[in-house]
Amino acid sequence: MSDRQNPDYSQRIQARLEHLLPAADASPERLHAAMRYAVLGGGKRIRPRLVYAAGTAIGLEPDALDASACAVEYIHAYSLIHDDLPAMDDDALRRGRATTHIAFDEATAILAGDALQSLAFETIATDRHPRVTDTIRAARLATLARACGSRGMVGGQALDMASEGRAIDVETLERLHSLKTGALLHACVRLAADGRPDLRAHERDALDRFATRIGLAFQVRDDVLDIDSDTATLGKTQGADIAHDKATYPALLGLEAARAYADRLYAEAVEALAVFGGSADALRAIAAEIVQRDH
């Protein structure tokens, strides 16, 4: 099926992720097998799809976005490997099957996550698409680095671990999740915008508003699903947040108020896209999927 027939780009990203990963039989075989296991074993591919959808909204062709789309998914896969480790969330189930450290071993899982992080930056740095200039490559490397470092995803994970068993307010929880979950989702949209250095300021601001709100909506919906759904549907352990005594939006706001908050964030995200007209329909579809998903 072509990309035109499959506008969410799921098949495109799957093929490119597999192509760029080291072959499973290349040395060191066990490490490469673990990397492929973590990346290719399912998932909604929301982050790379956001890259393509944001690019579509601002007139970029998919082939000028492939490297960025793969890079964010490699970062996401690495983060899940490390999140599931015994020293972190200590989970044995991810996407309906054994987590990487269970399927292989802890040391191999740690190394697989490390290698996927490196591969993400290599993928952007070596992108030789004719419309991707040195300036664009440098901007995208900086965007990704900010999103996954101590002032982004990793910092959010540190705050999340520090908050276990402690009473925190909604403002603190929002800051935590704007880093842990929101920073990488925001980077997906920014990576597309980096490909258009001539993008007008109000268009860039609109994309930023969309990304900020949908990133938070994603986490609020996750918190709701940890209560509403079940392990088989989620593909990961239901009730894990409660088991780890984590602060969540339903715990602080109440379940119905948390649902309403996700809906409000979604409405604000979609409203921000008005400037792009119909070219942002793919972004609107992903936003709806984020707040309506059951896993």
Q: What is the pTM of this model?
A: 0.92
Summary mean pLDDT of the chain: 91
Separation of alpha carbons 231 and 247, rounded Å: 20
Q: What is the rounded average pLDDT of the residues 91-106?
A: 94
- Distance from C-alpha of 124 to C-alpha of 148, rounded to nearest angstrom: 15
Q: Sorting pLDDT into bands at 50, 70 and 90, what band is 241?
A: low
User: In the chain, where are the structural domains located?
Assistant: 10-292
What would the pLDDT profile of 133-172 be if each residue is shown by its tens digit?
999 999 999 999 999 999 999 999 999 888 888 888 999 9
- Tell me the average pLDDT across 195-202: 97
Q: What is the pLDDT of residues 176-195, one digit of tens each?
A: 999 999 999 999 999 999 99
Looking at CATH, the fold of the domain delimited by 10-292 is given as Farnesyl Diphosphate Synthase (1.10.600)
- Mean pLDDT, rounded, for 37-42: 93
Neighbours of 277 (CB within 10 A): 9
Share of the chain above pLDDT 90, in %: 78
- How is the chain classified by DSSP, letter by letter? --TTTSTT-HHHHHHHHHHHSPPTTSSSHHHHHHHHHHHHS----HHHHHHHHHHHHTT--GGGTHHHHHHHHHHHHHHHHHHTSTTTT--SEETTEE-HHHHS-HHHHHHHHHHHHHHHHHHHHT---TT--HHHHHHHHHHHHHHHSTTTHHHHHHHHHHHTTS---HHHHHHHHHHHTHHHHHHHHHHHHHT-TT--HHHHHHHHHHHHHHHHHHHHHHHHHHHHS-HHHHSS-TTHHHHTT---HHHHH-HHHHHHHHHHHHHHHHHHGGGGGGGGHHHHHHHHHHHH---
Give the type of residue at 17. L
Q: Which amino acid, one-letter code, is at 294? A: D
> What is the per-residue pLDDT across 47-90, written as a single tens digit (0 to 9) for each?
999 999 999 999 999 999 999 999 999 999 999 999 999 999 89
- The rounded percent of the chain whose pLDDT value lies above 70 is 91
The model's confidence at residue 251, banded by pLDDT at 50, 70 and 90, is confident
